Amino acid sequence: MGCTTSVYAIGKRKKASIPETAIHVPSLRIPAQSDIQRALKGLVPKDLIDRLTGLRSQIILIAEDTGGSAIVELKRALDDYLSLLIGLTKKEHGIEDLVEFRWKNLEDGRQEAGLSNCWFELLSVVHMMAMLTLAEANSLMIPKDYSGSGLRLVSSDCKREAVDLLLKASGYLEFCIHEVLTHIPPEIKTSFPKDLQDGVLDAISIQALGQGTEIQLGLAIESQKATLSVKRRLACEQLIYFSQAYQSLSGADISDGHGKKHLSFIKWKYLEAKAAAYYFHGHILDKGSEPACHVSAVCCFLAAEGLLTESKRACLSFCLSAPVTRSPPPWGAMKYLYQKIPEIAAKKSEMYGYLLEEEKALQSLPELPDFQLSLRPDDYELPETDQAWDSRNWEIQSQALKDHLQDSEGEEES
């Protein structure tokens, strides 16, 4: 999962035995060969069929040849293909269910069962655009080189651009859920690959917002102008996003290995976000003058330290889950918190140790504040339908239609 696309470098395939991931990217699904020509022969103008077939074949060729790394070229081809594909979804043409569209997993080459539904094809195309956008965000967050200390060196501009890409990817997936799945009959959805389940799509969409907030928290920590309140808010929002993503994915069928790895990633990020939230909440409570404030603050710092330990185990579990990935070095907010949380927990425990003994009744973990979520998916709209579908020159020669019917009869006899 994600991890396979995380080694992609735009325009050139990069080989790595154990890839590294910063932004989680589920496995990339790409089109497989489908016989569009035969299915639409005599029903759609030949030049339009040729364009549909040619663009789909171009997507397959680029994806297979580059391992999905030619993100810009693939997105351009997908956009062009979409403007033609939309015409198949128009009921007035009566051809929504004629073509059996096939897709496969790029990682293992395993081909899915074909589905004769153009909305399934549209869903798969927009889903592929979302995965490519996540892969592009991931490439921005993985540095091209390292400093002598081995820590990440990612510019603020790259981080902000990655956040924009995450919002765009979330928007693609929200469009899939609310504007495409509603057109697909329930009996067809039962044949869907697990990657396209409602719960999985929703989890990835929310997770993208959570990782965008994670990057924003790292930027806030680096900024001298960001207050403790701002940092706490971002950490709490990140926690809410990953909690929602966990709930969505838990309700889906994740019996395959990829689904389990995906869930382990969300658990890991949830624990990191919770550690960050308690750390900053503890600092705000510690500003109070009452003994109870200091006791509550220490409880927060100790909770953060325990959660940090759990998150390290969750990270290891994620990395060891198939397909194996490389444990990333601490980056962003966690690079700061890995050092600060143990240090502050030890310091404040020693400082207020006497209060912890005296006020044992007050030793309860305070609730984290609830905030309205800030990040929202970008709105996505399909491109305009290609003008070829609006052409008045749709009178197919009777001989061409006769040929189509004869081909169908011949297949039935055989």
Structure confidence by residue, pLDDT tens digits, 271-321: 999 999 999 999 999 998 888 888 889 999 999 999 999 999 999 999 888
79 and 206: one domain? no
CATH of the domain at 66: 1.25.40.280
239 lies in the same domain as 165: no
Q: Provide the 10 A C-beta neighbour count for residue 161.
A: 15
Mean pLDDT for the stretch of residues 27-48:
91
CA distances 411 to 399, 404, 414, Å, are 18, 11, 5
Pair (202, 322) in one structural domain = yes
Mean pLDDT computed over 376-389: 92
Please determine, for residue 144, whether its predicted confidence score (pLDDT) is greater than 90. no
Task: Answer whether residue 11 shows pLDDT above 80.
Answer: no
Q: 202 and 164 in one domain?
A: no
Question: Are residue 60 and residue 202 in the same domain, yes or no?
Answer: no
Q: Cα separation of 20 and 401, whole Å?
A: 53
- The pLDDT, as a whole number, for residue 258 is 80
List, for residues 90-134, the tens digit of each pLDDT value.
888 788 899 999 999 888 778 888 899 999 999 999 999 999 999
Task: Report the pLDDT averaged over residues 161-172.
Answer: 98
Residues 207 and 166 in one domain: no
pLDDT digits (tens, 9 = 90+) for 321-350: 888 887 778 888 999 999 999 999 999 888
Is 396 part of any domain?
no
pLDDT(399) > 60: no
409 is a domain residue:
no
202 and 345 share one domain: yes
pLDDT band at residue 150, thresholds of 50, 70 and 90?
low
Same domain, 253 and 120: no
363 lies in some domain: yes
User: What is the pTM (predicted TM-score) of this model?
Assistant: 0.88
Asked if residue 14 has pLDDT above 50, the reply is: no
Domain count within the chain:
2
253, two tokens: 């069928």
377: in domain: no
**Shared domain check, 130 and 269:** no
Q: Verify that 138 and 223 share a domain, yes or no.
A: no
Indicate whether 245 and 345 sit together in one domain: yes
The answer to the question of residue 350 being in a domain is yes
Asked whether the predicted pLDDT for residue 360 surpasses 50, the reply is yes
Please indicate, yes or no, if residue 342 is contained in any of the structural domains.
yes
Domain of 228 in residue numbering reads as 197-369
- pLDDT (average), residues 79-95: 90
Q: Are residues 171 and 206 in the same domain?
A: no
C-beta of residue 219 within 8 angstroms of C-beta of residue 170: no
Q: What is the pLDDT of residue 295?
A: 86
Tell me what the mean pLDDT of segment 15-39 comes to: 84
- Name every residue whose Cβ is closer than 8 Å to that of residue 313 and which is 6 or more positions away in sequence: none
155, with CB counted inside 10 A (0-12, 13-18, 19+), is: exposed
* Domain contains 7: yes
Residue 182 forms part of a structural domain: no
